[in-house]
A and B are shown apart, each in its own frame.
Chain A
Amino acid sequence: MQVDQDKCVACSNCVPVCPMGAIRIDPTLNRATVNEDECVECFTCYRGMSKEHLNPTLVRTIRGFLKLLRIRFDPEPDVCPTDALTEQTLTWPRMVRRAFSDPLVPHESTGVAGRGTEEVKTNDVTDRVKEGEVGLTIEFGRPGVGVRFRDIQTMSMALAPLPVKFEEKNPVFSLMSDPATGAIRADILNEKVLSAILELQTTPEHVPRLLQVVEQVAGGLNTIVAIGVATRCDAQGENLLEPLLEREGYAGYRAKTNLGLGRRPAAATA
């Protein structure tokens, strides 16, 4: 993302809006500037702020006059008055940032928008996490911290030797250069994204050990890791994971529940 220096009036509305804190007002230029290394191309500023298309010279003059009188204008906080935020053409590897940060951009590897994963959201038709299995989602960078792929690689390489299977229909998996070791292609390791999800499957008996490893590795990363665990329920809607989590001391009181209302088309089930 870039700021059109001819249009920007340094109103600073975009500064707190940026999830990565990558925008600041340059005191010398008196314009907003974007730290490109920290910007993850999430388009929050570009898309989330309303636009007025006002004349920059007029706005600067009014703002300058009010500033002289030390009068504070109290504008709407989600508005870019002069439409100064400008998207730039992204090339590899920087385009990875937008793919993992802008939820309106579908991932090429899965065709799914958001973070590009279906997890157990469609498990009633995909059977991704089968009976007797547990699915883990390890999300890096959320909430509002961001992550570089080298930190994700640290985790994926720590998990690869363990009894897990990385989900192949997953955007992070598609960027692995060697899934057997969990290595991610070298040219994107320094790219920063808003968040990315590693999905894997295992069996219930391995869950405690895996969670222990994830927490241990997460402690050494320069980011936040959000953990999710998922399982199939029996015909009565009950599951064995809930008591297991309780025994292990996890408070899994918030959950995403798949109601099982999805259906495979007749041809697919035949």
Chain B
Amino acid sequence: MTNTLHRFGAPETLQDDYIVFALAARGVNEEGAPAKLQEFLRLALKHNPVNVGNGAKGGVYRASQNLNPLAHWRRTDPLDFKAIVDGIDSCTSVAAVFDTLANCEAFLAELKQADLGVSVNVSALADKAHTCCKTAGIARHSVGYSLGFHGDLNLLPDRHVLELSTMCGHGMVSHNFARKMMDWVKEGRRDPKQAATYMARFCTCGVFNPTRAARILGES
């Protein structure tokens, strides 16, 4: 889940972005992990996540293998959260994305009570994550900080594209597709929510934040 660490954007553009993910360590506490990870997601679903995913099988937003051609005019892809929970059958990583601090805090408090025994991480603004921990009565164990991008920065696109594409750190949401969605919103061909949904389907871990994406698309 380093894929959630390097999300691009100034702090004020990351206020609605909280990813909580859980995993067991290979060869250490992976026994019985699938049931614990299922419980993690069940608890998450009580706090209105905007996306959830299983790192081994995909997120709740996903491509359709048999799309009805009429979808070009009226597309209804219901989000099957239960299938994501039921589909956890291995020692994978699972994630839930929240768009408010309050929901994230409430989820962490419940996680602490549940005492699942798997590693839980919050990927967000460092001070907000710290606040979440304090509210839940949790002392942080370890922290990994993003120090941003270096190297040949000429290879990077503009900041709005980066804000969108880096929401899938594995790079499944391409810069060109993010740019295309920005253009489509500007041209009035799709609304921000639709454009955000298209992008979310490419993120296989389910850590793309469609709420933040729609906001960025609406503002850019």
Chain A interface residues (CB < 8 Å from chain B): 15-19, 21, 42, 44, 47-54, 74-79, 81, 101, 103-104, 106, 110-115, 117-126, 129, 135, 137, 139, 141-145, 194-195, 197, 211, 214-215, 218-219, 221-233, 235-239, 241-242, 245, 250-265, 268
Contact = CB atoms under 8 A, between A and B. Distances in A.
Contacts of A48: 63, 172, 201-202, 204
Interface stretch (B23-31, B42-50, B78-86, B211-219): B23-31
B25 A143 contact: no
Contact of A115 (B2, B14, B125, B147): B2
Contact of B140 (A54, A74, A101, A258): A258
A229 B146 CA distance: 7
Given A125-B119, A137-B144, A254-B7, 5 more contacts: A115-B2, A125-B29, A254-B11, A258-B143, A258-B144
A253 B125 contact: yes
Contacts of B31: 265
B1 A256 contact: yes
B183 to A, nearest CB: 10
Contacts, number: 348
The 6 closest A-B pairs by CB, nearest first: A260-B141, A252-B145, A230-B144, A262-B119, A237-B139, A255-B126
B179 interface: yes
A82 B75 CA distance: 18
B132 to A, nearest CB: 8
Given A16-B179, A47-B63, A124 B119 contact: yes
A103 B1 CA distance: 10
B130 interface: yes
Contacts of B143: 120, 230-231, 233, 239, 241-242, 255-258
A19 to B, nearest CB: 4
A245 B55 CA distance: 31
Contact of A268 (B28, B93, B126, B165): B28
A120 to B, nearest CB: 4
Interface string B101-140: 0000000100110011111111111110110011000111
Contacts of B14: 254
A260 B184 CA distance: 43
A53 B68 CA distance: 9
Contacts of A78: 63, 198, 201-202
A232 B144 CA distance: 9
Contacts of A222: 152, 155
Contacts of A253: 11, 125-127
B117 to A, nearest CB: 4
A16 B144 CA distance: 32
B5 to A, nearest CB: 5
28 contacts: A77-B177, A103-B55, A113-B56, A114-B1, A122-B119, A123-B141, A126-B28, A137-B2, A194-B171, A195-B171, A222-B155, A223-B152, A224-B149, A224-B153, A228-B2, A229-B144, A239-B140, A254-B123, A255-B5, A255-B123, A255-B124, A256-B4, A256-B146, A257-B129, A257-B130, A258-B143, A259-B133, A268-B29
A194 B152 CA distance: 16
B76 interface: no
Contact of A17 (B120, B147, B202): B202
B220 interface: no
A51 B64 contact: yes
B93 A125 contact: no
A145 B162 CA distance: 12
Nearest to B28: A125
B172 A110 contact: no
